[in-house]
Structure 1
Amino acid sequence: MCTHALGQWTGNGRRRFSAAILAFVGAAGHAGAGNLQVEPILLEFEHTQPAQILWLSNNGTQPLHAQVRIQQWLQADGQEQLLPSNALLASPPMSEIAPGQRQLVRIVREPVIPSAGEQAFRLVVDELPDVAPVPTSAGGLQFLLRHSIPVFVLPAGTQAQRAPAGKAVNTDVGLLQGSWQPQGHSASLTLRNNGAGRIRISQVSWRSANGHRVDIIPGLLGYVLAGQQMRWTLSLPEVLAAHGTLHAKLNDDATAQALPLAGTDH
């Protein structure tokens, strides 16, 4: 789950998002921090698994209300897209959680989804504003959290992405192809995933032919979903040397790998 960017709507109506979004709701009442916590931060359904469990916790001193929704997650024209879906259901979809308590929510596959490849969803958990906030003379803002958690439904014959105990297994970088087009202090990165499962991209860096390393994205960049394509515009901390390779860490690999991209040297 990433927390480094706020969600926004693009000009073509598609939604960009992060895993945790801090929303500001004006209120003539008390000021409160977002107290909704969610675990786990990723769900995987194996082929025969009918349900998963999500925990919602209230770390605050006042009751809170939360809503759980599930949306299909696609990447169209290199952009994130969320669509309504009934393939997964949350039970209960609405919860009131007392201070210091937590609520169990079942995420149910109904019906079982037949698919030859991995399917992706986003589980969106919203902390809802108070219906009738307690008035105060100072007024204030209410800070609310939105969590957006990746959910993956695996096809038959595949297992959850877990490396064997005691072994460092690198993701097959050959499953990716794309292009890299730096220009001044920005660059366009396009990646297509030809594999049957998603690939998470993080710790992106440029390594020039003389050994100089430039860290571009020290944390999470995002996912490239199975059989889909994603495009990012990245800010560069400095103008990059003309010759070099773009490296990134894939999934939970121990080390970064050089990405096979047009526009870079190998």
Structure 2
Amino acid sequence: MHRLLPLLLALLPMPLQALDLMPTTLRLPAAQGRSELWLHNPGPGHWRGQVQIWAWDQQPGAEHLQRSAQVLASPTLLDLPAGARQRVWLLPASSMPVAAEQAFRIILAPAEPTMPRYSLPLFRGEPADPAPPCLQAEVVANGSQLMLRLLNGGSAHARLSDLAYEAADGHRSLLLPGLAGYVLASRQRQWQLPPRADGYAGGRFRARLQDGAEVVLAASTTAIAASQPSGL
């Protein structure tokens, strides 16, 4: 039995190699400046990969990513043995200031498909007088499926957590615990909703923003059907 133990251990699936990342949301100044991302490989395996920069946009019902040269990363190739730490600098390719908030995704793409892949949001630019996220909620129908559509009319993104619905009688139902997602500036996003007998009429939605403040959104309904998928 003791002779078989090493063989049995070798046949067991190895755990996925996870990295510790800090911070998990990044920001670049509107003009000059840079940001840093720290990576730590706690082990036991080796993580190799590359840093990719993608421009991030939201259209009705979909998330769009496109490779971008507007932000530079240094280094772009990563080789982290167990216990290693690595700092990645992120800086704009141009020193020209931006007038509106830009959104990107920093992708850590592993060299081996069995290793985990990471995606971190990065925002560049902050208007001199930024308007807070200005969210409007609509409940729309996509066939027989009800959707929550949030429109952000502000000049900065909204990071939503602990999305809940509060019925007219005050009863609250938690829909998405933890991070629910982002609504980019001047964009919209949709979430699928569980069915309700009242069709979400007369109630309101609640969520926490990135600063910890709670936002309350009246649940207006519309008869216009959404032809796009949810974009989750």
Query: Which TM class, normalised by the smaller chain length?
Result: 0.7 to 0.9
Shift of 1:157: 1.9
Q: What's the % identity of the aligned pairs?
A: 32
RMSD (Å), alpha carbons: 2.9
- Structure 2 Cα separation of the partners of residues 201 and 63 of structure 1: 34
- Contact 2:132-2:154 at 8 Å conserved across structures: no
Matched, 1:78 2:61: yes
- Contact 1:203-1:249 at 8 Å conserved across structures: yes
Matched, 1:90 2:73: yes
Shift of 1:83: 0.8
- Of 205, 212, 215, the residue aligned with 1:246 is 205
Aligned residues: 211
The superposition leaves residues 36-93 of structure 1 with CA deviations (integer Å, 9 ceiling, x where unpaired) of 2222101111223421111122111333212110100000123111111000011111
- TM (norm. structure 2) is 0.79
- Structure 2 Cα separation of the partners of residues 113 and 261 of structure 1: 41
- Structure 1 Cα separation of the partners of residues 209 and 197 of structure 2: 25
Shift of 1:103: 1.2
The superposition leaves residues 189-227 of structure 1 with CA deviations (integer Å, 9 ceiling, x where unpaired) of 111111110011221222122222211112221111011
Partner SS, residue 259 of structure 1: strand
Shift of 1:94: 0.5
The equivalent of 2:33 in structure 1 is 50
The equivalent of 2:111 in structure 1 is 128
Matched, 1:146 2:109: no
- Contact 1:36-1:127 at 8 Å conserved across structures: no
- Structure 1 Cα separation of the partners of residues 13 and 170 of structure 2: 54
- TM (norm. structure 1) is 0.70
Shift of 1:234: 2.8
Question: Against the structure 1 CA distance between its residues 258 and 35, is the aligned structure 2 distance closer, same or farther, given a 3 Å change threshold?
Answer: closer
Structure 1 residue identity aligned to 2:167? S
The equivalent of 1:229 in structure 2 is 188
Shift of 1:30: 7.0
Shift of 1:239: 4.5
**Structural mapping, 1:62-77, within 5 Å:** 62-77=45-60
Further displaced range: 69-78 or 29-38: 29-38
Structure 2 residue identity aligned to 1:105? V
The equivalent of 1:106 in structure 2 is 89
Matched, 1:115 2:98: yes
